[in-house]
Structure 1
Amino acid sequence: MNASPPHDDEAARAANSPLVRDFGLLIKSATRLEQRIDSALRRECGISHTMLEVLIRLCRRPGEEVSQRQLADDLTLTSSGTTRLIDRMEEAGLVRRVPSPGDRRVALVEPTDKGRTAFLGAAAVHARVVEEFFVRPLSAGDYAQLTGALSAIDRALRDETR
């Protein structure tokens, strides 16, 4: 029988560590949930989850001026990725670009009436999928603990980047 290369056992321990396993579980769960949401939105509403995220951002504070740059930052997309996404949404009649009154070089994005209507339908689908796969599998106490923990992680990450 051949001997294992010198770092195989060490590599296996690292790959099977609780930290790697637990973080992988978080990522896999979040990815699977996002896929469920995206699939339901595409099937029932004809929009992607990313398009819904844009509409959420645009509908959150009516009348707020939101630039493409702000959307890119909020959605952690590249500038070119955001431009392509807004192009598709504009072609679908969900949003429109308007010049910023304060800076002609800046394009603001706002939802259209069709976009607001699509958002309301998509928000209901999103809520149903989130309820089924994120909320219902947990007890009320576990859900509160999970969301509290996720908020703490988010705060730590935001504080660290400042």
Structure 2
Amino acid sequence: MDATTRQGDEAARAANSPRVRDFGLLIKAATRLEQRIDTALRRECGIGHTMFEVLIRLCRQPDEQVSQRELADDLTLTSSGITRLIDRMEEAGLVCRVPSPGDRRSVLVEPADHGRTVFLQAVAVHSQVVERYFVTPLARDDYVRLTDSLGEIHKALREG
């Protein structure tokens, strides 16, 4: 067996390894679920999944105001990416920018009344898609184990 064939065999074994396969399944499932959610939110509410994520963050507490930097960190977006997103959301009447009382250089973002209305509609759509494709396919015990395990993975990634 020549070196090229041996390297090809090694590469095939690596590409088909359980860790690569299992992680690939996780990514594919998450990506497809996010696509389904995004499609449903756009069709039913006129917003994409990323805008929905911003509204989730802004609606967690009554009268919530969050800096764009915090939003960028929460959503793993660049500062220019979050600025463009908030620009579009502000133009759509979903959010408002307000001056930060503690720092004149900083601007806070809060949900607009229309944003709260759209968010409540979007939560219902999101819940239907998640129920259908994330919850229903699993037995109750499997679902609990999965979500517990995802929580542990998230915790390990935050700490590491």
Shorter-chain TM-score bucket reads over 0.9
Asked whether 1:105 is paired with 2:102, we answer: no
The secondary structure found in structure 2 opposite 1:7 is: helix
Letter in 1 for 2:118: A
2:48: which partner in 1? 48
1:134 match: 134
The 3-state SS of whatever aligns with 1:9 is: helix
For residue 159 of structure 2, what is the aligned residue in structure 1?
159
Indicate the residue corresponding to 2:21 in structure 1. 21
Q: Secondary structure at the match of 2:5?
A: coil
Unmatched segments (≥5 aa) in structure 2 = none
Aligned alpha-carbon RMSD (Å): 1.2
Runs (4+) of structure 1 exceeding 4 A deviation are: none
The aligned length equals 159
2:150 is aligned with 1:150 = yes
How far the C-alpha of 1:3 sits from its partner, in A, is 8.7
Displacement, 1:61?
Answer: 1.2
- SS of structure 1 residue aligned to 2:66: coil
1:90-143, Cα deviation, whole Å (9 max, x unpaired): 000000000000001111000000000000000000000000000000010000
- TM-score w.r.t. the length of structure 1 is 0.95
| 1:9 equivalent in structure 2 | 9
1-structure distance, mates of 2:10, 2:37:
38
Aligned residue identity for 2:32 = R
Unaligned runs of 5+ in 1: none
